Amino acid sequence: MSHGKFGTAINCMDGRVQLPVTDWMKRQLHLDYIDMITEPGPDKVVAGGQSTEIETIKTKAIISAKAHGSKIIVIAGHDDCAGNPVDKAQHCAQIQKSVRVIHSWNLPFDKVIGLWINKDWDIEIIDSFEK
């Protein structure tokens, strides 16, 4: 059995962003394990993708919440994203919208956080919603 606190991340499939997000969440949010839901350009998908794509992500988030008891979910966008090659301002707008979309799913998460991973692979909080 797994002991410890789980968190959930909707993150890019880009191999450069897995560890920055996992490390930041463990350190800043005091979590032990991060369930990673990956997608190319996830901020674009959650903010305005096709409903089937969004449903797939939502289904995975539900598994993380129900099976692992995750209470915190993060959506992250990042610099130099091949799946979503827009400027930072547009990423940030999508991240903000994604936070609202995820909140509207009405899942048992106490906290929804939108993150930006900058060109130095440092994490910036763009938006957050707490129950």
Interface with Zn ion (CB under 5 A): 12, 14, 81, 83
- Pairing mode, strands 6-12 and 72-78: parallel
| Nearer CB in complex with Zn ion: 68/79 | 79
- Least gap, CB of 75 to Zn ion (angstroms): 13
The least CB distance from residue 30 to Zn ion, in Å, is: 27
Residue with Cβ nearer Zn ion (3 or 119): 119
Residue 41 beta carbon to Zn ion: minimum distance, rounded to whole angstroms:
6
In whole angstroms, give the CA distance from residue 86 to residue 63: 31
Burial class (CB in 10 A: 0-12, 13-18, 19+), 107: middle
Q: Which of 123, 113, 126, 100 is nearest to 48 (CA)?
A: 100
Q: How far is the CB of 13 from Zn ion (least distance, A)?
A: 7
